Amino acid sequence: MSLIERFLRYVKIDTTADPESNQVPSSPSQLVFAKELANELKAMGLQAVEVSQYGYVTATLPANTDEPRPTIGFIAHMDTSPDMSGKDVNPQIIRQYNGGDILLDPVAGVVLSPTEFPELLLYQGQDLICTDGKTLLGADDKAGLAEIVTAMEYLMAHPEIKHGPIRIGFTPDEEIGQGPDHFDVAAFGADWAYTIDGGEIGELEYENFNAAGAKVIVKGRNVHPGYAKHKMLNAIRIANQFASMLPRYDTPEHTEAYEGFYHLTSFHGDVEQAVMSYIIRDHDRDRFERRKKELEHLTRKLNNEFGPNTVTLELKDQYYNMREKIEPDNMHVIVLALKAMEAAGVKPKVRPIRGGTDGSRLSFMGLPCPNIFAGGHNFHGRFEFVPIPSMEKATQVIVKIAELASPVVKPD
């Protein structure tokens, strides 16, 4: 099966993660997909193929050389974002993109335009896979899945390419921050790994946000508005006051590169109670800690103004910057990826992730795990697309990593 045939088959399987679920995986379809992937890997001839009770797929491509080599892992996630429907995905291929507007949905008038998405112009003359304007595409991260499986298939068909043991791992629920929750690093048994979960061609990322989630709960007191003076506490107004006290421009729409932010993701309530959900992000650990302290400070300040326990803050760390685990002792992992990209004719683009991957938590769990491009753009929405040559290059990079990994770069 070709890379593109495999990808098109994967994206048509609905594996949307469910943030409201208490099950693992969060949606039953992910477990169904996991079993399908396992059957495919077994049919290819991979060994030690397993599906855990939580839907994690692992498999091994054994070494084909007696030379001692490190065990390398390649990881991708099976779920798609709940931000937009992943059901009934109907991908379309735009042949030799001409640089103009792409009409995704003629009925609804949904257009993918370089005016709004100038990165399209980087891919003139290439074949692109787009949505039909009604769903997301699912290249995040089914492009990564297809690239890893296709690379393993290629290595098995070309035994002249010598490599050490290779472990692959497919995780559920990455999109809701739970991908590594039940990942058994010791059983996986890799010296290091790569998530194939990045964006445009050439991306190599070993820095990501430090991340926390916050819930701000405001308790109000409802009184007839005609007789409310010095009695009513309007939870909506107090919550709005909390939000307005945060730095105005420390938000996603005003930041880039290494700049952190507070992001208000939901706000609902009435006079009696209002609830706000935030995510807090910063690459620098000290600034990250100061951002959390600022939320605690505002909570105390409003409680001093409106009364004890008017505002309650629930704050929870989610993941940390993997740079802390990569840079001191594991830069050989990055050097190998850079060499593999260059050997595959890909210009590396080393940049920080304005987000997180499974690899960020896995690095803190003892598995150094930077992130490599899968090729897609505009994830999580109807304007998502992936250039076919980028997917092909990602597959080649995986093969080159396997080929170039040697005892020279294995940790002492």
Among 362, 387, 351, CA closest to 184: 362
Q: Which of 79, 141, 153, 207 is catalytic?
A: 79
Give the tokens for residue 336. 């190998």
Is residue 174 part of the annotated active site? The answer reads yes
Contact 190, 95 (CB under 8 A): no
Return the exposure string of 56-94: e unless at least 16 CB atoms fall within 10 Å of the residue's CB, then b: bbbbbbebeeeeebbbbbbbbbbbbbbebebeebebeeb
Q: Could you give the residue ranges of the DSSP H alpha helices within 114-265?
A: 139-157, 185-188, 235-245
Instruction: Report the C-alpha gap between 259 and 254 in whole angstroms.
Output: 9
Q: Is 79 a catalytic residue?
A: yes
Length of the chain: 412
CA dist., res. 338 & res. 405, Å (int): 12
Among 14, 140, 147, 174, the one annotated catalytic: 174
8 A C-beta contact, residue 249 and residue 321:
no
Residue 183: φ, ψ to 5°? -80, 120
- Please give the helix or strand (H or E) that residue 393 lies within, else none: helix 388-404
Q: What residues are labeled active site?
A: 79, 174
